[in-house]
Amino acid sequence: MHPLSKRLSRYFLPVLKETPAGAEIVSHQLMLRAGLIRQTAAGIYAWLPLGLRVLDRIAAIVRCEQDRAGAIEMLMPTIQPADLWRESGRYDAYGPEMLRIADRHGRDMLYGPTNEEMVTAIFRDCVKSYRDMPRTLYHIQWKFRDEVRPRFGVMRGREFLMKDAYSFDMDMDGARASYDAMFTAYLRTFAALGLRAVPVKAPSGPIGGDLSHEFHILASTGESEIFYDSALDTVDIADPEAPAQLRRLYAMEAEEHAKIAACPVPPERLARRRGIEVGHIFFFGTKYTAAMGMQVQGRDGAMVTPLCGSYGIGVSRLAGAIIEASHDEAGIIWPEQVAPFDVGLVNLRPDEAAVMAACEALEAKLAVAGRSVLHDDTPARPGEKFATMDLVGLPWVVTVGPKGLAAGTVELKRRATGEKAELSLEAAIARIAG
């Protein structure tokens, strides 16, 4: 068996036939039924093997676009000393969402809900001159916010995986350049994930700041009602130029807004949809650097308090949001970019040597093409196997059985469209690889 392939008979995929009680929204229902997650406590979930593969693929795309934008990856701890938050003044102000704890020595600690204080302290202790600026640092790390009523699975859980980045600049021109670079990186990120995301002017919330945008995935089950330029709907997100086109459209809106001081979108182009927030970027200036006493020496020798921005993407939330935007009555429909496996291989007779040999040959050839395979070699009935493949939502499903082999064909199904075709083994591989 090739490393890119997994045999279902040896895998851990606890699918459920019935919708679990208490799962209110589609993504929560399907993530539980498809064996992606299991709840361990209120708002806290274990990510099972299939779900972890999705999470890793989402994180890899987010990481790629952050690196491309010039951000530098690091990793900060989940547990933070309370004294950092006392420096910024947020320890008592943040509210009961912060999980406060004490270590064995009685020192006040907390499970980080965000990282502005910690990254500012690290940067303050390491950077003393304009020569080391500008910089944008990021990490992908678990967070905890003690929601009063966690619900909707990973969409509003207490523990969640976030990408958060923080920019440090010497002046406003540099800060705007950093903000704009992240704005563009977010458009690229969501396009690379196969998603249509709409940037929306937004309040900065309790973290602070005055320049702020949320990014929403359009979905009928979205928690927020948003208004946007319908021209965004005409952009083909599969086009490599899609992020640039979206950026130009948004720049045009901003220019109109500056001229008329009102809604920048002409009434005839104003669209109203529901959206799921999956990202938020905001500029907050010296809010933390000033409070925590950070200064660096400028070119003229004078001391300068750096300007900062913060940029978040809900990595674990994206897994649920993608399902909300892409599913049908049978189950999940994963975009190819984030699917846990590229191909589901349904072996109708794993007890027949010829059928198993054909499946193994298919696995090997798909591996050469760089495609991962989940091979259902269990003794389950065909109907159960097909239902499982529809539920987990892999982009392609290949069915191999004795009758097809006798005719020299396999059945290839495209999950997104339901289209089926009887093809030779080589033709099916070529279709998937192409």
Considering the domain architecture, whether residues 198 and 298 belong to the same structural domain is answered as yes
Task: Tell me what pLDDT residue 203 has.
Answer: 65
At residue 200, the pLDDT reads 83
What pLDDT sits at residue 175? Answer: 95
For residues 323 and 344, give the distance between their C-alpha atoms in angstroms, rounded to a whole number.
18
Handedness of CA 172, 174, 176, 178 (dihedral sign): negative
Same domain, 398 and 294: no
CA dist., res. 345 & res. 159, Å (int):
34
- Beta-carbon contacts of 224 under 8 Å, excluding residues fewer than 6 positions away, are 216, 274, 275, 276, 277
In a domain, 19, yes or no: no
Residue 17, in any domain of the structure: no
Q: Residue 419 is part of a domain; what is its CATH number?
A: 3.40.50.800
Kindly state whether residue 158 falls inside one of the protein's structural domains: yes
State the Cα–Cα distance between residues 377 and 229, nearest whole angstrom: 49
Integer angstrom CA distances of residue 151 from 45, 174, 226:
12, 40, 22
Cβ-proximal residues to 240 (8 Å cutoff; 6+ apart), any chain: none
Sign (positive or negative) of CA dihedral 248, 250, 253, 254: negative
Same domain membership, residue 386 and residue 278? no
Does any domain span residue 27?
no
Based on the domain organization, do 80 and 97 belong to the same domain? Answer: yes
| CB under 8 A, 24+ apart: contacts of 285-290 | 285/175, 285/209, 285/210, 287/88, 287/116, 287/208, 287/209, 288/88, 288/116, 288/117, 288/120, 289/120, 289/124, 289/168
| 307-342 b/e (C-beta count within 10 Å ≥ 16 → b) | bbbbbbbbbbbbbbbbbbbbbeeebbbbbebbbbbb
Strands across the sheet containing 79-81: 79-81, 108-111, 99-102
Residues 391 and 292 in one domain: no
Residue 206 shares a structural domain with residue 227: yes
Sign of CA dihedral 322, 245, 203, 137: positive
Between CA 362 and CA 374 the distance in angstroms is: 12
Q: Is 118 within 8 Å of 87 (Cβ atoms)? A: no
User: Are 316 and 397 within one domain?
Assistant: no
CB 31, CB 319: distance < 8 Å: yes
| Residue in 306, 332, 359, 356 with CA at minimum distance from that of residue 415 | 332
How does pLDDT run across 237-279, given as a tens digit for each residue?
A: 778 888 777 777 766 555 564 444 766 778 888 888 888 999 9
Residue 426 lies in a domain: yes
- pTM of this prediction? 0.93
Both tokens assigned to 351: 């007890």
Q: What does the alpha-carbon distance between residue 243 and residue 191 come to, in Å, rounded to a whole number?
A: 7
Q: Are residues 189 and 223 in the same domain?
A: yes
Give the helix ranges, DSSP H, for 34-99. 49-68, 82-88
pLDDT at 258: 44
Per-residue pLDDT of the chain (434 residues; tens, 9 = 90+): 667 789 999 999 999 999 988 888 999 999 999 999 999 999 999 999 999 999 999 999 999 999 999 999 999 999 999 999 999 999 999 999 999 999 999 999 999 999 999 999 999 999 999 999 999 999 999 999 999 989 899 999 999 999 999 999 999 999 999 999 999 999 999 999 988 888 887 765 554 445 888 899 888 878 888 888 888 888 887 788 887 777 777 665 555 644 447 667 788 888 888 889 999 999 999 999 999 999 999 999 999 999 999 999 999 999 999 999 999 999 999 999 999 999 999 999 999 999 999 999 999 999 999 999 999 999 999 999 999 999 999 999 999 999 999 999 999 999 999 999 999 999 999 999 98
**Whole-Å CA distances, 152 to 23, 185, 196:** 7, 28, 22
Element (H, E) at 373: strand 373-376
Residue 25 lies in a domain: no
End residue of a domain, out of 306, 332, 358? 332
Whether 29 is in a domain gets the answer: no
* Structural domain total, the chain: 2
Terminal alpha carbon distance of the chain: 23
Does 26 fall in a domain?
A: no
Are 290 and 366 members of one domain? no
Vertex 375 angle, CA 369 and 378, to 5°:
170
DSSP code for 108: E
- Between CA 336 and CA 29 the distance in angstroms is 21
Take residue 87 and report the two structure tokens written for it: 């420096």
**What domain range includes position 351?**
5-9+341-433
Strand pairing of 44-47 and 79-81? unpaired
Choose one of 332, 359, 378: the last residue of a domain: 332
* Judgement on whether residues 152 and 171 belong to the same structural domain of the protein: yes
- Tokens representing 169 are 């600049």
Reading the block at residue 6, the tokens are 């997994």
As a whole number of angstroms, the distance between CA 347 and CA 375 comes to 7
Report yes or no: 323 and 179 within 8 Å, Cβ to Cβ. Answer: no
User: Of 359, 345, 364, 342, which Cα lies nearest the Cα of 405?
Assistant: 359
Question: Residue 284 is part of a domain; what is its CATH number?
Answer: 3.30.930.10
Q: Which of 264, 298, 332 is the last residue of a domain?
A: 332
Residues 104 and 214 reside in one and the same domain:
yes
pLDDT of residue 204: 56
Q: What is the pLDDT of residues 162-183, one digit of tens each?
A: 999 999 999 999 999 999 999 9
366: left (phi over 0), alpha (psi -120 to 50) or beta: alpha
- Number of C-alpha atoms within 13 angstroms, CB side, residue 407? 10
The answer for residues whose C-beta is within 8 angstroms of residue 330's C-beta and 6 or more apart is 387, 390, 391
